[in-house]
């Protein structure tokens, strides 16, 4: 094997190696994106803990992650579907506005209750407050701490 043949081989393999180096760099970028995604964006703003439900739906003890806007009701198009016979199709709205959480009744038949009092219109609420719709009692909880 003379020098020319060897260097031709080196160039050929070098091209393939460099193309695969591209993949390595892309994979590193993807890995960083994934890491960034885990620590930031995917985290819910808060959780809704189900304290008790007379008809067992949603199951007591479960914790529902919340977005900025959450509609509560029996209709399947709500972001939180509460399948309870005393809950209206479009029952209440739970929203995060700026820095605080608000709950709003959407003209439900049996009302929305905040810490044992029936509410009308828009009411602010904090972590640990209790909401009752129909026969379902739920509590607003802090979002889970990020472990990584």
Partner 1 sequence: MSAAVNALGRVGIRPRLRRRELGLLVLVMVALTVGWASYVSFRDGHLELADTSALATYFVALLAIHALFVLSGRRMDEILFPTAALLAGISLIMMQRLPQDLVTQSVGGATLGLGQLQLFWILMGFAIMAAVAVLVRSDGWLRRYKYTWAAAGICLLLLVFVFGDVTGGARLTIHIGPISGQPSELLKVILVVFLAGYLAENRALLASASTRLGPLRLPPLPYLLPMLAMWGIALAIVIVQSDLGAALLYFLVFLALVYVATRRVSYVILGMGLFLAGGFVLYELVGRVQERIDIWINPWADAQGTGYQVIRALYAYGRGGILGTGIGAGLPQVGNVPSIPAIHTDFIFAGVAEELGMIGALAILGLYVVIAQRGFRIAALAIDDFRSLLATGLTLVIVVQAAIIAGGNLRVVPLTGITLPFVSYGGSSLLVNGAVIGLLLALSDRGVPPPVPGTHRGMRERIGRRARALGGRVESALS
CA atoms within 13 A on the CB side of 88: 13
CB 92 within 8 Å of CB 112: yes
Residue with tokens 């979002």: 143
| The pairing of beta strand 46-53 with beta strand 63-66 | antiparallel
- Interaction of residue 15 with partner 1, rule CB under 8 A: yes
Q: How far, rounded to the nearest angstrom, does the alpha carbon of residue 135 sit from its chain's CA centroid? A: 24
In the complex, least distance from residue 125 CB atom to partner 1, rounded to whole angstroms: 27
d(CA 111, CA 58): 18
Among 22, 59, 98, 145, binds partner 1 (CB under 8 A): 22
Phi, psi values for residue 33, rounded to 5°: -55, -45
In the complex, least distance from residue 45 CB atom to partner 1, rounded to whole angstroms: 17
- Interaction of residue 2 with partner 1, rule CB under 8 A: no
- Interaction of residue 120 with partner 1, rule CB under 8 A: no
d(CA 109, CA 89): 10
The helix (H) or strand (E) run that includes residue 93 is strand 92-97
2/145 with CB nearer partner 1: 2
29/100 with CB nearer partner 1: 29
32/118 with CB nearer partner 1: 32
22/147 with CB nearer partner 1: 22
In the complex, least distance from residue 66 CB atom to partner 1, rounded to whole angstroms: 19
Q: What is the CA radius of gyration of the chain?
A: 26
- Interaction of residue 20 with partner 1, rule CB under 8 A: yes
Q: Compute how many residues bind partner 1; rule: CB under 8 A.
A: 22
Q: In the complex, which residues of this chain contact partner 1 (CB under 8 A)?
A: 4, 7-8, 11-16, 18-23, 25-26, 29-30, 33, 76-77
């Amino acid at each position: 094997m003379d020098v020319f043949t060897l260097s031709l081989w080196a160039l050929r393999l070098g091209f393939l190696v460099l193309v695969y180096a591209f993949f390595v760099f892309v994979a590193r970028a993807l890995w960083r994106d994934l890491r960034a995604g885990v620590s930031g964006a995917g985290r819910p703003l808060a959780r809704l803990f189900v304290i008790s439900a007379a008809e067992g739906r949603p199951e007591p003890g479960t914790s529902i992650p919340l977005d900025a806007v959450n509609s509560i009701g029996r209709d399947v198009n709500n972001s939180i579907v509460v399948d309870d016979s005393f809950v209206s199709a479009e029952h209440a709205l739970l929203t995060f506005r700026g820095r605080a959480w608000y709950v709003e009744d959407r003209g439900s038949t049996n009302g929305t209750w905040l810490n044992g009092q029936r509410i009308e219109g828009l009411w602010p609420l904090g972590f640990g407050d209790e909401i009752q719709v129909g026969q379902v009692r739920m509590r607003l909880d802090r979002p889970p701490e990020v472990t990584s």
